């Protein structure tokens, strides 16, 4: 109903959609980009795209699935853009005399983390950034958004068994990374 109204350009319908889904979009975005300001930016980009391309939404999948897909795509684009900038800055530093300090982002603490787990979760989230793209997405959707494997498979357009496999590999890689981290830490 709201979708139909939005397709006809109804601003009130758009407002209702934003208010209903902003938490889902923001929480997913912050899980992937791991920075509150960037997550806000991504969430805004998602809703701009929803507004501009609502005509393309045929209702074949759930609205939430469509929103998850757009959010993931925008968040991954954001990360790629950021990495490109970092690489460019690094190369620029090599060829110029200016020694600009390379800024490392601070450890990310998800706002919804229990206080006791803050330190450990920051270490885990850092390890998540080193996972391959698909494993990172599956892990974030499962752990941060609390989606089931069935729901993740719908979002990622794959089968449940491939999501299980992705999650298994993600866990194995994370454990390896964490072991290395703690070995060096000791």
Q: Which residues make up the interface to other proteins (CB under 8 A)?
A: 15, 18-19, 22-23, 26-27, 30, 36, 39-40, 43-44, 47-48, 51, 110-114, 117, 120-121, 123-124, 143-145, 171, 174-175, 178-179, 182-183, 186
Q: Tell me how far, at minimum, the Cβ of 57 lies from other proteins, in Å.
A: 18
Which is closer to other proteins, CB of 144 or CB of 160? 144
Task: Find the shortest distance in angstroms from Cβ 95 to other proteins.
Answer: 32
Minimum CB distance to other proteins smaller for 32 or for 163:
32
Q: Which residues of 93-108 are buried (b: 16+ CB within 10 A; e: fewer)?
A: eeeeeeeeeeeeeeeb
Minimum distance from residue 39 beta carbon to other proteins (Å): 8
In sequence order, which residues have a C-beta less than 8 Å from that of residue 139 and are 6 or more positions away?
Answer: 128, 131, 166, 167, 170, 171, 174
Q: Which is nearer to other proteins, 16 or 86 (CB)?
A: 16
Show Cβ contacts of residue 100 under 8 Å, excluding neighbours closer than 6 positions.
89, 93
Task: Give the separation between CA 165 and CA 161, rounded to whole angstroms.
Answer: 6
């Amino acid at each position: 109903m709201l979708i139909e109204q939005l397709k006809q350009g109804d601003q009130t319908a758009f407002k209702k959609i934003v208010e209903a889904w902003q938490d889902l979009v923001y929480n997913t975005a912050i899980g992937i980009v791991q920075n509150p300001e960037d997550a806000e930016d991504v969430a805004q980009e998602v809703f701009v795209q929803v507004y501009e391309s609502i005509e393309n939404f045929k209702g074949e999948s759930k609205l939430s699935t469509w929103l998850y897909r757009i959010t993931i795509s925008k968040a991954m684009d954001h990360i790629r853009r950021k990495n490109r900038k970092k690489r460019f800055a690094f190369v620029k530093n090599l060829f110029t005399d200016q020694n600009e300090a390379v800024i490392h982002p601070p450890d990310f603490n998800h706002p919804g983390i229990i206080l006791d787990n803050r330190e450990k979760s920051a270490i885990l989230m850092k390890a998540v950034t080193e996972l391959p793209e698909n494993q990172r997405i599956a892990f974030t959707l499962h752990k941060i958004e609390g989606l089931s494997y069935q729901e993740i498979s719908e979002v990622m357009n794959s089968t449940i068994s491939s999501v299980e496999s992705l999650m298994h590999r993600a866990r194995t890689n994370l454990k390896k990374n964490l072991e290395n981290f703690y070995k060096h830490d000791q």
